[in-house]
Chains A and B, each alone.
Chain A
Amino acid sequence: MIDIRIVRSGMAVRSLIAKFLLPLVMAAAFAVPARAALQIDITQGNVDPLPIAITDFLGAEGQEGKVGADISSVISNNLERSGLFRPLPKASFIEKISDINVQPRFGDWRVINSQALVTGQTRMEADGRLRVEFRLWDVLGEQQLTGLQFFTTPDNWRRVAHLISDAIYKRLTGEDGYFDTRIVYVSETGPKNARVKRLTIMDQDGHNPRMLTRGNELVLTPRFSPNSQEITYLAYRNNQPRVYVLDIETGQQEVVGEFPGMTFAPRFSPDGQRIIMSLQRGGNSDIYTMDLRSRQVVRLTNTAAIDTAPSYSPDGRQVTFESDRGGSQQIYVMDAGGSNQRRISFGQGSYATPVWSPRGDLIAFTKITGGRFVIGVMRPDGTGERILTEGYHNEGPTWAPNGRVLMFFRETRGAQGGPGLWSVDVTGYNERPVPAPTFASDPAWSPRIQ
């Protein structure tokens, strides 16, 4: 409007305007594409957890109903712990779901600010199996997002709850869930100077703990195989550290290779065919792989320095490891055959235990700087280093199978202190203790259970 008025009544400025302003205005008119819609970029949002209503799964009085309520609380607990969801208190629910095959009254759920709604039911089948169904609803879009049903034995309900949590997580975040997974860790009991250490396995939420070793030997650094049936770990027998492989289901264990020196820091290759580890002779340790079938051993590094803590990239083409060849402990990356070794960490302090994310985009590490233990991540080329947590003693990061969450152990000071498991997501915002029945260290996160 202003422009136009000036053009009409201006005297001295007329020619100026004619020369400059008007063409500009016209150019603007023509430069805008032919559609009239206003275009607005939304470049900022919030990272608040998504409010979700999880109703008790319907079931007849008695066992059905109880399992239904239990499943709903396991799902609620899983989603809440992920930090991405905020389950709403059941007391606030207005509509009482009585049939999951009828569309819920979305208005009732909008009123309590819910954006997603989970309904479900449990049924005991005639053959003794448990049938669990659930539906995930988009409250604002008023549509069903997903719905699945599962059949299982009744005592397996907890696993079904984890599978449902995974499905909800995946549909709403786009990311694979990690709830149907297990953790192997070293449980520590007894007084601080005479701890009994046992390999223990439990569900990712701390339930169903089960001892895997008897505690008569020192065990360290358990690692899952990609098929999740086997773990490899380090045990001291006759004061000699050796790398073992243990079958979780059968309890059978065997030593990996007979080497003259000590073996450390074992880890499976992504295809599960090889174990990569470090082998120490004298003051020098180097990285080796051993084929589990042919027992063939290949040496990957050959320096006078200490090379250890190897970890494969998810495609199996590269290996990251720690080495002090440059004077201080730093992170290196090399091709899987041992060539092209290069340093990637250049920050203050010393870096240790690099672990490649299952997604391939990040390497997690422990860093010791200024007397503090830091858990952080960086890209495989060494850029983008970020600190996720720090403290008196943090160590041993392990990735959830979706590459979004890390677990590690944190030691507390004092005579009563001891190690405990913690998880933190890659943003560093959502840090939580992982419930475990005893002191716990050296966690290893399983792949998703097949």
Chain B
Amino acid sequence: MRNSVLLSAAAHVVIVALALVAFPSPEELPSVQTRALPVELVTIDEVTNLKRLKKVEKPKPVEEPEPPKPVEKEKPKPEPKPQPAPTPPPPPEEKVEPIPDKAVEKKEPPKPVEKKVEKPKPPQKQPEPKKTFDPNQIAALLDKTPDSSSKPQPQQQSEQEFDTPVTDDPAAKLTMSEIDAFKVQMQRCWSVPAGAPEPIVVMIRVYLAQDGSLASPPELMDKTKLVTGGSYYRAAADSALRAIRLCQPFKMPADKYTSWREIELKFDPREMMGG
């Protein structure tokens, strides 16, 4: 018994003694010399644009590299936009027609509606002017690089290239965040029609002025559905058109006007109604 008491006491003494020695003289933490990391602030567009480009590209890795390309790319921007700047369609010559008299108890479909819908024609013609405009000519004029290196270009290719000058120039392209900002603005304005049993997708083309307002009335891209799609489609189309009119002017980066002067909007409520 006594032994164990002694042993215990001895052990305590040893531990206390060790503690006294150990604690007061801790090893000093070496202070690590950190090097300052140089950080460069870049705008998000460079990143997001690259990303987007890559995504689109994947499907077609066939083309072979052609060095002279880049030079061309920078120039063509000014002209190749023959889009008839949204010619404002004739102002709605809405005259209210008196509701036709009818001795019958029931209804009379209103006339003005259908007529009006068809009015915003002008933008329809758009594709044509593009085709007639021969970008190759201009390309030839502008292109000072020696032809030798590039093989005889099939017409189509270069034509396509000029047709999409906007997407070629990352500087003029909207960034993902700018597109997202547009979407958010649009979402606040769009009251999704609740009626249809199946979600209805509506495509609308808008032409915007420099200040982001509508340059011409928004144009329904699949008008035939107004006839074939029934009342659900008509209500869905109306809701999308209302949203656009309500939302404008859109807040867009003014320096990238070329890329957003014409926008195709796809109103797709599937995600909302999918639950």
Q: Which A residues contact B (CB, under 8 angstroms)? A: 1-4, 7-8, 18-19, 22-32, 34-50, 84, 101-103, 115, 133, 135, 138, 140-152, 167, 170-175, 359, 361, 403-404, 425, 427
Contacts and interface: CB of A to CB of B under 8 A. Distances in A.
B136 interface: no
Contacts of B54: 24, 28
B164 A144 contact: no
Nearest to A121: B99
Size category, B interface? 35 or more
Nearest to A131: B101
A311 B40 CA distance: 69
Nearest to B259: A38
A37 B106 CA distance: 46
Contacts of B17: none
A404 B113 contact: no
Interface stretch (B5-13, B18-26, B56-64, B142-150): B56-64
Nearest to B74: A4
A29 B164 contact: yes
B79 interface: no
B69 A142 contact: no
A42 B242 contact: no
Contacts of A102: 96
Contacts of A149: 99, 101-102, 107-108
B232 to A, nearest CB: 4
B116 interface: yes
Most chain A C-beta atoms within 10 Å of own C-beta, residue among B64, B94, B197: B197
B242 A115 contact: yes
B242 A35 contact: no
Contacts of B174: 38
Contacts of A101: 96, 98-99
Given A27-B61, A39-B264, A41-B268, A143 B112 contact: yes
6 contacts: A27-B60, A34-B163, A45-B191, A46-B187, A47-B192, A149-B102
A166 to B, nearest CB: 11
Nearest to A357: B197
Most chain A C-beta atoms within 10 Å of own C-beta, residue among B194, B245, B270: B194
Nearest to A103: B96
B242 A27 contact: no
Interface of B: 46, 50, 53-54, 56-67, 69-70, 73-74, 81, 83, 92, 94-96, 98-99, 101-110, 112-113, 116, 127, 130, 157, 159-161, 163-171, 174, 179, 182-183, 186-188, 190-197, 205, 217, 230-236, 238, 240-243, 245-246, 259-260, 262-272
A352 B144 CA distance: 81
Given A31-B57, A172-B235, A2 B46 contact: yes
Contact of B269 (A45, A144, A174): A45
Contact of B113 (A39, A143, A172): A143
Determine chain A's interface SS by DSSP, over half rule: mixed
Given A32-B56, A38-B262, A2 B113 contact: no
A431 B238 CA distance: 27
A45 B267 CA distance: 9
Most chain B C-beta atoms within 10 Å of own C-beta, residue among A19, A148, A361: A148
Given A27-B62, A140-B246, 6 more contacts: A3-B50, A7-B67, A39-B265, A45-B187, A47-B192, A103-B96
B195 to A, nearest CB: 3
Contact of B69 (A26, A41, A150, A175): A26
Contact of A46 (B95, B110, B190, B217): B190
A28 B52 CA distance: 9
Contacts of B179: 40
B62 A2 contact: no
Contacts of A167: 107
The 3 residue pairs across chains A and B that have the minimum distance between CB atoms: A174-B235, A175-B195, A45-B190
Contact of A42 (B164, B186, B245): B186
Nearest to A17: B65
Contact of A48 (B116, B191, B268): B191
Nearest to B195: A175
Contacts of B232: 174-175
Contacts of A145: 110, 113, 238
Contacts of B110: 135, 144-148
A26 B63 contact: yes
B187 A37 contact: no
A150 B187 contact: no
A144 B113 contact: yes
Nearest to A99: B96
Most chain A C-beta atoms within 10 Å of own C-beta, residue among B65, B101, B190, B240: B65
A144 B96 contact: yes
Given A38-B263, A101-B96, A149-B108, A45 B242 contact: no
A47 B243 CA distance: 12
A102 B246 CA distance: 23
Given A4-B70, A36-B83, A39-B264, A173 B193 contact: yes
A274 to B, nearest CB: 27
Most chain A C-beta atoms within 10 Å of own C-beta, residue among B56, B81, B83: B56
Contact of B183 (A25, A27, A40, A48): A40
A148 B99 contact: yes
Contacts of B108: 147-149
Given A44-B272, A146-B110, A427-B194, A31 B70 contact: no
A133 B259 contact: no
B70 A8 contact: yes
Contacts of B186: 40, 42
Contact of A23 (B65, B92, B194): B65
Nearest to B117: A143
A40 B265 contact: yes
A95 B102 CA distance: 29
B208 to A, nearest CB: 10
A24 B271 contact: no
Contacts of B217: 141
A8 B69 CA distance: 11
A23 B95 CA distance: 57
A84 B239 CA distance: 13
Contacts of A2: 46, 50, 170
A171 B239 CA distance: 11
Given A46-B188, A46-B190, A175-B195, A40 B264 contact: yes
A151 B101 CA distance: 11
Given A29-B164, A174-B196, A19 B99 contact: no
